[in-house]
Structure 1
């Protein structure tokens, strides 16, 4: 049970597997007004940075579930490093369909809404673990501006313009599902650069260490094209944010 190999190479040293920075996660934790002891479920928890730092800084407890054994191991090590292993735990498993046995105050899926077939299905999944009055956190992309052509759309990593909404449309879609949008924290270009550019170093280091691997030619092609593609398309047209929702 694992994610595609390219992600475990390109994001091998990432603590945060999305365009957020540590400062953005700190802001998110503060605006949510997290009370000590709040239980959090994080589906698609990656290397566990959100749960681990929030346990340290805000006194929460929580469970993360992720499909990658590498990232799950990194999350457990991070919890030990920050001295919060008694408050957070990480499960290597499929987050799709995962429901917590105990209701939580915050149920999150930050950038992995494919587990529910999109944000609507993921919100439904998260709601099954949520205590009354709790908060759902969804990390999701949106169009900053519409790309000028179908080719540009594809170069942004989408199959069609309809894959992503605009920010107003995304907020409206959450409301149409019966939720109030009570907070949002949006990624900035620095966050995008840290997330994407760090992949290039990871790829180069891996290629230097594994020149004869069967995957090397494909990864070399990827590294040769990614910086330009990112600068021309993702950086210009795609936004990303975490949205806090409460059921009406």
Structure 2
């Protein structure tokens, strides 16, 4: 059980698998006013940077679930590196449908709402693991401005314009689901650049090391096309943020 190979290659050097910088992740942790001992569930935890740094900085504990064996192994190494392996655990598994054995204070899914079939389904899934009054964290793209055509939306790697909402509409949608929005931290352009551009060097290094790999043709095609696609589409039209919600 693993994510598609292309992600294991392009994001193998990433600590954060979304457009957040370490500073943004720290800002989010501070904004939530986390109490020491708070339990956090992270569905789609990637390389574990959120849980590991928050355990170090705020004394939280928790569990991360991710479909990638590579990223899960990296998360465990990060926990050891930061001296928090006794407080956080990382499980290689499918986060879709995962419910914690014990209720948690924070239930998060940052950038993987496909696990619940979209935002509403993912919030419903996270709520099953949440104690009363706890916080749900959802990381989700939104349109900075509406793409003028469906082709532009596809250039942002969306299936259609309807895949995402403008920010005010996304915030209203959380309210329609019965939640108060109690915090948000939004990615900036530098965060997007660091997330996307870091993939390019990783791909080039992989190609240099694996010239005869059957997958090299696909990686080469991505490296050739991605810089211009990102600059023309994602960088201009797509935002991303983490939104903190508490049930009304």
1:73-222 matches, within 5 Å, as 73-222=73-222
Q: Judge which range, 31-40 or 151-160, deviates more.
A: 151-160
Gaps of 5+ in 2: none
Rounded Cα–Cα distance in structure 2 between residues aligned with 1:206 and 1:129: 39
Q: Which residue of 1 aligns with 2:46?
A: 46
Q: What is the deviation of 1:150?
A: 1.8
Q: What is the deviation of 1:153?
A: 1.1
Q: Which residue of 2 aligns with 1:232?
A: 232
**Residues 6-47 of structure 1: per-residue CA shift (max 9 Å, x gap):** 000000010000000110011001110000000000000000
Q: What is the deviation of 1:238?
A: 0.1
The SS at the match of 2:74 is helix
Rounded Cα–Cα distance in structure 2 between residues aligned with 1:150 and 1:63: 39
Q: Judge which range, 143-152 or 174-183, deviates more.
A: 143-152
State the TM-score, normalizing by the size of structure 1.
Answer: 0.99
Rounded Cα–Cα distance in structure 1 between residues aligned with 2:97 and 2:236: 34
The SS at the match of 1:180 is strand
Q: What is the deviation of 1:148?
A: 2.0
Rounded Cα–Cα distance in structure 2 between residues aligned with 1:66 and 1:56: 21
State the TM-score, normalizing by the size of structure 2.
Answer: 0.99
Gaps of 5+ in 1: none
Could you list the structure 1 runs, at least 4 aligned residues long, displaced by more than 3 angstroms after superposition: none
